[in-house]
Amino acid sequence: MEIYLDNSATTKPCAEAVEACVNAMTKTYGNPSSLHDVGFAAEKCIKEAKKQIAAALKCDVSEIVFTSGATESNNLALVGAAQAKIRRGKTIVISAVEHPSVLETVHALAQQGFTVKTVQPQSDGTFSAQSFADAVDSDTTLVSCMMVNNETGLLLPIAEIAAAVKAKKPDVLVHTDAVQAFLKLPIRFPALSVDLMSISGHKVYAPKGIGALIVKKGVRLIPQITGGGQQNGVRSGTEPVPMIAAFGAAVAAQRTKLSARIAHYEALSKRLRDAFSQNEDVSFRSGDACVPYIVSLSVFGVRSETMLHFLEQKGIYVSSGSACAKGAHSHVMDALGVDRMTADETLRISFSPETTEEMIDTLVSAILEGEQTLAKQRVRG
């Protein structure tokens, strides 16, 4: 039996998303910009998806801009906002644990003359809202902070961060990468006081290749893809109607089950932690400030890649960290003060609604077996 526990990397598209995608490809296949009935049908499909996503986030349909995924959403938010506000300042503030699509984007902006300030975590690994406000100065125009860290599951206080930042400098734009939080935590876009929010389809049981940037009314971005002026000129290009329809359908299917899923994840996380509570060779990176559906743990002396492939042979699929890193050393672990040896032993386990307690028990047994089997390969004594 396949036990897939790498849902932070990607999720299996749900039946509703697949059906919506196929219907759009075979029935509403027109260009949504075409001025005839086939085009109008495709346009209607997009509007319906926007309603479904807006209902989940409590945002306005006009605030949704579809993109090819979260990486493009983050690029559009950061570069588009930085360029739009360049006359007011050239300083950007980010957290030290951002996704590479944020880190590399601000690095590119730094090469263009922007100043990037990085907020470090506190001694306990969490972030304070005040530290972001303290980093804001008269030249700051943009703050970007993820909502849930993709490696450890750390929940960052984005609403408090936005409030603190705007209390100090009201015209600063605040962006959040909410990819690992959307449809897993209750999110109301207006309540967060952020200006820009990135979300992704393939993290919420829709296909890869579709995402969105939520742009608060009145916020101006410089378009990064120009052309036919689709989506009010913010993101040109013929909209991928099948992917958009699938995204909307996946959101509609998931949004009403949130409370039950959170309780389910909490039970799974507790079961996993309790199973290793007496095992001194297994330690957890994910603490009380982390969400329950992402668990980061390390097995003393066993490299994560070695354990990962041991589990893979048993049909159990986990990650050694961020899927985007492809085994590279983790900047997140560095920021959290985790030594290189321990970081190299760390696994990321992430749940879905289909994850069962039996799957967790099987995982625990396999890790314990791996711990014994791989002991002679340990990297430290």
User: How many CA atoms lie less than 13 Å away from 157 in the CB half-sphere?
Assistant: 16
Length of the chain: 381
Which residue type sits at 210? I
What span, in angstroms and rounded, lies between the C-alpha atoms of 131 and 361?
40
**Which of these, 307, 329, 320, lies nearest to 375 by C-alpha position?**
307
Marked catalytic residue, from 14, 59, 145, 324: 324
> Phi-psi bin for 58: left (phi > 0), alpha (psi -120 to 50), beta?
left
Q: Is 324 a catalytic residue?
A: yes
The answer to whether 227 touches 239, Cβ cutoff 8 Å, is: no
What span, in angstroms and rounded, lies between the C-alpha atoms of 368 and 275?
10
What span, in angstroms and rounded, lies between the C-alpha atoms of 211 and 243?
9
Q: Which residues contact 218 (CB under 8 A, 6 or more apart)?
A: none
The answer to whether 180 touches 150, Cβ cutoff 8 Å, is: yes
The DSSP letter of residue 29 is -
Task: For the chain, list the strands marked E by DSSP.
Answer: 3-4, 64-67, 91-95, 115-119, 140-144, 173-177, 196-200, 211-215, 282-284, 294-299, 316-317, 346-350
What span, in angstroms and rounded, lies between the C-alpha atoms of 294 and 321?
11
Residues identified as active-site: 324
